[in-house]
Structure 1
Amino acid sequence: MLTDTACKNAHKGDKAKLGKAFKLSDDKGLYLHVMPGIKGWSKYWRLKYRIGGTEKLLALGKYPDVTLDQARQRREEARKQLADGIDPSENKKAVKASRLALAENSFEIIAREWGQKKVDNWDDKNNRSKRMLERNIFPWLGGKPITDILPKDILACLRRIEDRGTIETAHRTLQICGQVFRYAVSTGRVDRDITPDLRGALPVAKGEHFAAITEPKQVAELLRAIDSYQGSFTALCALKFAPLVFVRPGELRTGEWQHIHLEAKEWRYFVSKTAVQHIVPLSSQAIKILEELQPLTGHGRYVFPSERTPRGDRCMSENTINAALKRLGYGKDVMTGHGFRAMARTILDEVLGVRVDFIEHQLAHAVRDPNGRAYNRTAHLKERHAMMQTWADYLDGLKAGAVVLPFRTTA
């Protein structure tokens, strides 16, 4: 019978000097197959057995990953199967096939298949649906067969999100899980969508409120604070650019250079939230910021890339703007990146007296004409160009200490 020392030093013995494969026998059909290779010697456990008059071999693993004691245990398990009339090799193949079938039916495999077929921009590293699943569901349920997942399993994942204080995200994650389950139903992997069983299990999600500064005097103080920001140049440019264009934070940080048209003074891109093509007229102040930033980030994909990816193939983090505002003394209960939209919406209407439909178009809201038809992206484009330049000039005036216009009052 073999010893662990004999197994360990097998490639140093007399048989190894011949440079050919050889066997070291143990007991009851178990042996160590020692084989030479380009990277050195390899050692594999094999079990020789007979069933139905036919001699067969069963692989039991590689030494030293599988120790001598473990190989003997596996040999005894195989011998018990033989005693019951079971062929160990065929049983091993069946178990492997079963595991593969379970893996193909796992929640993560099905979810990623659903994403590839049903979700726009799924391959984008920053796709929101994919990130929610990868962060909140896959670590706990990803490898589990979808047929074995119970409502309580999903709820446990949602409770973890809830404990972080993000009820909106918990509801959104549940919706995504429901879409994955319905896809699994349509492809014959599961009988029904179990997510409706969780209706009412989560607290009601209140309408999300983004803190914003809308008083002109406070806006002036904020703009001066932004100019004094001591962080990275990219973050500083994003902070200066945000109030000038007042787009959604996600649209700002994922803005791509290929969509910026400096000569036309326009930024054109697709708004996934409202499924519309959008045009942002760029003021001379916005153009200046982009021209200063272009030598630094213009070689990459994103206008405002992540500082952790010098090549520019990953966009700025969703927390960068809010974190920068916090460093300036503006916590999320006072001002947020999304708050620049409310700032512009309020002041353009109530102070500068701009037509509301111009503003709504610029906010990429679903604006319709008197006949119920959606305006196209070029509607009032000339007027919006003028509005955006007026807005940028107004902000410069506030920052410089110009006389603040009072809010207009209605009779």
Structure 2
Amino acid sequence: MALVDTFVRQVKHKGAEIGERYADGGGMYLRVKAAGKYWRMDYRFEGKAKTLALGVYPEVTLAEARQRRDKARKILAHGIDPSVVKREEKTAKAEAAANTFEAISRDWLKNTANKRAEVTQAKITNWLEKDVLPYIGKWPIATIKAKDILDKVIRRMEARGIHESAHRIVQICSQVFRYAVATGVVERDVTADLRGALVAVEKTNYAAITDPLQTGALLRAIHAYGGHRYTLAALKLSPLVFVRPGELRTAEWSEIDLDSAEWRIPGAKMKMGVDHIVPLSVQAVSILRDQHAATGHGRYVFPSIRTGERPMSENTVNAALRGMGYAKEVMTAHGFRAMARTIMDEVLGERVDFIEHQLAHMVKDPNGRAYNRTAHLPARREMMQRWSDYLDKLRIGADVIPLRAAA
């Protein structure tokens, strides 16, 4: 006779060492032992007697045990051993549990680190640890759907008003999923289904002062800055070299040759992944020599004030500009690049291709080939010195003659 719920609930172990057995039909039975009640199913496969575990009561009810029995019998009817299927399913579940979004994302970060600058690696890691991993990091990546990313991650960021970062996070998650696809963990990148679901963001340029007179006022404000000496040195050097803020703050003394007046930034730190040379003007060398007296014993030119083991914070220069009264809509650390690009071209009449080289933009020769890092280096060195001299005149307040207009 088939078992009933009341009997299964009330039956007790009667002392037999192997336990008592109560059949339900179709090979399924309840084994009652001192340690508990176990669902089992006996069957034959390829002439051999085998037993399949169906679960433990009461975690697995009588009805659920019967469903598992029926599933096993269907598998058996197709000539497949249900014990093998169960073992494979168990292995798949264990792999899914191990392949969490956090595990895959950290594996991706580690194996692709050589493709991005150190500062970018740190920024992506920080974004993941702050905005993604606390919410979906422990989930098996194979179980994550587009709606999970939207609800658990993106909407939280949008609620904080950081829409642009939300778009960047989706791009990062997409790269993690594509890595998981390549390694056979998931079938597809589910972030593709988020297209059109995020709050739109208008692309804006970094705020920059490009008027010579206002530039002179900014330079005077920088030289009057009363903050920490490391920050002052970074502020003074920023307009002279106009590299990206991340390249400035992670500058290392091993990259700088003060005697040759050159700063050679390795490609690993550059946005385009190509080594970059910054000729240093007399003024830039003077600032760096003063800084060397303070930080030359360490790795970074502009170390963190708290610890010399890390570079200056990415917000330091912008925070100093804010403290000097320059709102983010007026001037940013990145704006020193636009300042140089505009004034050197429109006021000083410098060659645009030289300026683009110095901005580390991709510049091609007449045959469409990209110039190498040393292209026009002597001419660029002269241009950088003229630029520093011009900035000194603006700061001091000397007459400023727009050279192109005069010509």
Class of the TM-score when normalised by the shorter of the 2 chains: 0.7 to 0.9
Map of 1:134 onto structure 2:
129
CA distance in 2, matches of 1:402, 1:80: 98
Map of 2:260 onto structure 1:
264
Deviation for aligned residue 1:379:
0.6
CA distance in 1, matches of 2:115, 2:293: 28
Answer with 318-327 or 161-170: which moved more: 161-170
Distance 1:249 1:120, change over 3 A: same
Give the conservation status (yes or no) of the 8 Å contact 1:104–1:110.
no
Map of 2:36 onto structure 1:
82
Map of 2:288 onto structure 1:
290
CA distance in 2, matches of 1:80, 1:221: 87
CA distance in 2, matches of 1:222, 1:211: 14
CA distance in 2, matches of 1:283, 1:370: 29
Distance 1:365 1:82, change over 3 A: same
Distance 1:122 1:106, change over 3 A: farther
Map of 2:311 onto structure 1:
315
- 1:318-339 CA deviation, whole Å, 9 max, x = no partner? 1111100000000101100011
Distance 1:124 1:397, change over 3 A: closer
User: Secondary structure in 1 aligned to 2:275?
Assistant: strand
**Aligned residue pair count:** 333
Superposition pairs for residues 213-252 of structure 1, below 5 Å? 213-252=209-248
- 1:237-271 CA deviation, whole Å, 9 max, x = no partner? 00000000000111111111111111110111125
Give the conservation status (yes or no) of the 8 Å contact 1:260–1:267.
yes
TM-score with structure 2 setting the length: 0.75
Superposition pairs for residues 8-47 of structure 1, below 5 Å? none
Give the conservation status (yes or no) of the 8 Å contact 2:96–2:142.
no
1:185 partnered with 2:181: yes
Q: Which residue identity lines up with residue 301 of structure 2 in the other structure?
A: V
Q: Which residue identity lines up with residue 131 of structure 2 in the other structure?
A: N
Percent identity over paired residues: 55
* Pairwise CA RMSD: 2.9
User: Secondary structure in 2 aligned to 1:120?
Assistant: helix
Distance 1:135 1:50, change over 3 A: farther
Deviation for aligned residue 1:340:
0.5
CA distance in 2, matches of 1:315, 1:99: 43
1:146 partnered with 2:148: no
Distance 1:81 1:356, change over 3 A: farther
Map of 1:299 onto structure 2:
297
Answer with 162-171 or 227-236: which moved more: 162-171
CA distance in 2, matches of 1:166, 1:185: 29
Deviation for aligned residue 1:83:
2.2
Answer with 155-164 or 216-225: which moved more: 155-164
Deviation for aligned residue 1:97:
8.6
Map of 1:375 onto structure 2:
371
TM-score with structure 1 setting the length: 0.75
Unpaired segments ≥5 residues, structure 2: 1-14, 20-31, 40-52, 60-86
Map of 1:342 onto structure 2:
338
CA distance in 1, matches of 2:394, 2:134: 49
Q: Which residue identity lines up with residue 101 of structure 2 in the other structure?
A: F
Map of 2:358 onto structure 1:
362
1:116 partnered with 2:110: yes
CA distance in 1, matches of 2:335, 2:321: 11
Map of 2:197 onto structure 1:
201
